[in-house]
Amino acid sequence: MKKDIYQKVTDKIIADLEQGQLTWLKPWSAGNMDGRITKPLRHNGMPYSGINVLMLWGATQEAGYLSPFWMTFKQAKEFGAHVRKGERGETVVYASTITKAEEQDDGSENERKIPFLKQYTVFNVEQVEGLPEHFYTKPEPIIDPSQRIDHAEGFFAATGADIRHGGNSAHYNGGSDHVQMPFFESFRSPESYYATLAHELTHWTKHKSRLDREFGRKRWGDEGYAREELVAELGAAFLCADLELTPEPGSDHAAYIQSWLKVLSEDKRAIFSAAAHAQRAADYLHSLQTKHDQQPQAEGVAA
C-alpha cells in the first residue's frame, strides 16, 4: 500500500479540521437522499465503510457530484455503459491478507497471515454514460421552490454575476469568473441558501475588474486563503443583516474558525482589515443595485 494514499486522506481531513469545516456538514443536502447523510454506495447499493467513506465523501464534495453511487470501469462496462473519455477516478482500498509459510525450529511449517491493503479505482456514476436510469435519480427537494425571498432574489440578480446552479459544491471560480451554487431546493432553509450565495458573491468581488483584492494566497488552506475566507464570511454577515435575513444558527458562519484563529493570533489588526474589506465588498454589491435600476431588468438567479 503506497504511503501517499494515507497521506492524501490524512492531509484532507486535517485541512478540513484546521478550517473548522467537516466534510459531511454543509448547509445543503444535495446528494444526501431525503435530507439524510448518505454513505457512498457501490454499484449494487452496498455502502462503503471506514476510510473509503471519508475518501469518497471528500471527492464528492470537491467534484460536486449529486449521486452517491460509485463503480469500477469494468462494472460500468457490464451494464453496457462506459466511463466518459478523460474522466479521472478515485482510489478506494480494501483489506486483504497473504499467507506465508514459516519454518519452525523443529523443522515444521507454520502458516502466518499478513494483512495488507489493496487499492483500486472507482468512478462516480455521473462520470459514466449509458447506465440504467435509477443511477441518475436526483434527491428529493428539501425546501419548496416557492419559499424564495423576492427582495433577496432581486438583490443578487442585480449584481449581474454569472450564477450557475447544479452539483454539490458552492464556490467562486476565478478562472471562468462565475459563482457555482447547489440548487435552491437542496438547502435546509432559504436563509442558508442566500447566506451561502452572499459568501460566494463576496469572493466574486475580489476579481481584478472589481475590487482587485489579493492576500497573497499561494495554496489551498494557507494564510492568504484564511484571510479571504474571513472577508467572505464577514461580507455575507453584513449582507444578510442588510437584507434582513437570519441564517440558521451555527450553520455556516463558523466554518473556518480554526484557520482564522491562527491569523488573528499572529496579527492583531487582521480582524480590522478583514472587516474593512468585507464592508467594501458589501458596498460594492450594493452599488450595483443603482446601476441595475438604470438598465433593463436582469435575469433572476433561479436555476
252: cell is: 455556516
Q: What is the pLDDT of residues 171-201, one digit of tens each?
A: 999 999 999 999 998 888 898 899 899 999 9
Each domain of the chain, given as residue ranges in start order, spans 31-136, 145-293
Q: What is the pLDDT of residues 26-82, one digit of tens each?
A: 444 444 444 344 668 899 988 887 677 767 877 887 787 888 899 999 999 999 999
Task: Tell me how crowded residue 300 is: count the other CB atoms within 10 A of its CB.
Answer: 14
Query: Cα separation of 223 and 262, whole Å?
Result: 8
Residue 176 has a pLDDT of 94
Kindly indicate the confidence band of residue 119, based on its pLDDT and cuts at 50, 70 and 90. Answer: confident
**Residues counted in the chain:** 303
